[in-house]
Structure 1
């Protein structure tokens, strides 16, 4: 695995995908959403990718993807409700991250509505609500207001997250992600206690998934201080993996990879969220620069090449890989996935 991860990168620069030329933007449609004809160009590339690799975006309701994913102009509210019917037909998009669950739990019927829009081969990555994975209760401005008594509560994790996703998504559930929000020093200074609590929750989650052992459980952290061997030990003990969180709050991918190596053999779960050039709190700046999210504006060739080699190494050893990409990684998630696909195919 190590040789594959850090072998020589492809010397050929990847061709940047572009949306099909279009006339001035028409009035947004309100009916069913169809796939952009230009997406057909990726059929041959998709056939060169590992069958056990699933890539997709993090949130899909972007009108700016007209010509890349959508066949025309649609309002964001239409894409949010109906966009998956077109999205899942894109040759390179075989998964999606449901991010909205981080802010508010969804019901089984809401998950079922998503599942009804995609075919049997599609898989979802779903984030656990922050009410379970954030040690602090936050206001609308994101600032901590008080200690969260439900932090890593096993019962809430199962009843408000695992059970509804299982009931609503069924066999289309691929990964459950538990993203630990940045922790106060009171927790970071007591890693043993933190990992004990995390382990207790993960044990309950695995028990709830007893009938679905293929569902991957992944833990993502937003504190570099947690990239320690005891974290890997806790994840291994409870059948979970580490989620590569490529984000301004975290070190670059090469610093996080040792945790994955400590868990080898195992799957890859990666969420490429925010280009590190924007810093730990750079979402507003990234959004301002990247809007309308239809082209690469903050290219991150270093991350892309290392991620491609990581994917090739892990999938080549027979392990599954789920990789989701945000617009704020490079400016346009579908374009980043196309470039990443080209890099993987070239290895």
Structure 2
């Protein structure tokens, strides 16, 4: 692990698994692959009608977009992961139900304004009202750093508003422009230093949020935590003071979405943000292995889906925008989960 990175879960990093021949084929661009455009998958009239029936302000999308297994669901034909990463966003944004997408690569390293601008241009070319959810680099949300020799040190960039502004907020907002939606600060499990004294985290968070620049248009701040001990009234007060909302994380470490809903509801009139990351009771690598290549619903979660639908319906009633990001590890295939969710939303309305 390079100097300056930290282990999100506090354990020793595992060696990277050797990719299978099938996986390697997805990642390696084939001869002539870069010369072909990525066309959107053909969609039937039902899907088009479903997209037209979704309430305005409801932004459904997935966590990233470069999955070769989505051939026939989002993309037409077979394309490598590299190809989809570079040129697949326009086809993704042409899907009737996909009105937002999560940019996850920024969690691991800051991204240049020019890259944000390129993404925005690809999406706006086919969907002017498309929005991006962008994760802040973990450099600003992890309190400890781990060196190559396994030594842990305090992270001087942790909750540094000045660095977060220069390396994340400004490039993202200036590059994406009107296409910028939630800027999400996702905090990994923070350990007993904060979970045993949650007010310490709330106070530091409030100071951090208050020092960030004010946002305009459709851009706003959201905070996601992975320690349920941090969900306190002090945490809610920090969100309110800093003008941010709680990002509801559907994850094995967190309470149900319905329980977390009050931290969005009581934070004011900011949009609803939900990230459905992982199927209940599963670990990330377990879900990844079980669900690849992410082209079918393997373990459906109708109860979790209903909780999300109820929250979206509440946002619609309150005339507040909603951003729902679904990961493949939630049920097996994020586009198919979104299809089911959209069906339920239209039924409710």
Match of 1:104 in 2: 109
1:82 aligns with 2:94: no
- CA 1:144 to 1:221, structure 2 compared with 1: closer, same or farther past 3 Å? farther
- The partner residue of 2:166 within 159, 163, 166 is 159
- State the alpha-carbon separation in 2 of the partners of residues 304 and 34 from structure 1: 29
SS at match of 1:330: coil
Contact 1:136/1:144 (8 A) holds in 2: no
- CA 1:144 to 1:44, structure 2 compared with 1: closer, same or farther past 3 Å? farther
TM-score, normalising length: structure 2 = 0.86
SS at match of 1:244: strand
Contact 1:96/1:324 (8 A) holds in 2: yes
1:186 aligns with 2:193: yes
- State the alpha-carbon separation in 2 of the partners of residues 240 and 39 from structure 1: 39
- CA 1:99 to 1:139, structure 2 compared with 1: closer, same or farther past 3 Å? farther
Match of 1:244 in 2: 248
Tell me how far 1:233 sits from its aligned partner: 1.0
1:253 aligns with 2:257: yes
SS at match of 1:288: helix
Gaps of 5+ in 2: 1-25
SS at match of 2:122: coil
SS at match of 1:67: coil
SS at match of 1:331: coil
Match of 2:157 in 1: 150
TM-score, normalising length: structure 1 = 0.86
Q: Deviations over 1:269-312 (max 9, x none)?
A: 0100001120xxx1110011100000100111111011101101
Gaps of 5+ in 1: 1-24
- State the alpha-carbon separation in 1 of the partners of residues 309 and 83 from structure 2: 33
Q: 1:225-240 to 2 correspondence within 5 Å? A: 225-240=229-244
Match of 2:343 in 1: 342
Match of 2:208 in 1: 201
Q: Higher relative CO (CA 8 A, sep ≥ 6), structure 1 or 2?
A: 1
1:45 aligns with 2:50: yes
Tell me how far 1:258 sits from its aligned partner: 2.5
- State the alpha-carbon separation in 2 of the partners of residues 190 and 110 from structure 1: 39
- State the alpha-carbon separation in 1 of the partners of residues 147 and 289 from structure 2: 23
- State the alpha-carbon separation in 2 of the partners of residues 184 and 80 from structure 1: 34
Q: 1:1-347 to 2 correspondence within 5 Å? A: 29-30=33-34, 31-38=36-43, 41-119=46-124, 120-138=128-146, 145-205=152-212, 207-209=213-215, 212-278=216-282, 282-347=283-348
Aligned residues: 315
- CA 1:263 to 1:198, structure 2 compared with 1: closer, same or farther past 3 Å? same
Q: Which runs of 4+ in 1 moved over 6 A?
A: none
Contact 1:270/1:323 (8 A) holds in 2: yes
SS at match of 1:294: coil
- CA 1:245 to 1:318, structure 2 compared with 1: closer, same or farther past 3 Å? same
SS at match of 1:345: helix
CA RMSD, aligned part only?
Answer: 2.0
Tell me how far 1:188 sits from its aligned partner: 2.2
- CA 1:302 to 1:116, structure 2 compared with 1: closer, same or farther past 3 Å? same
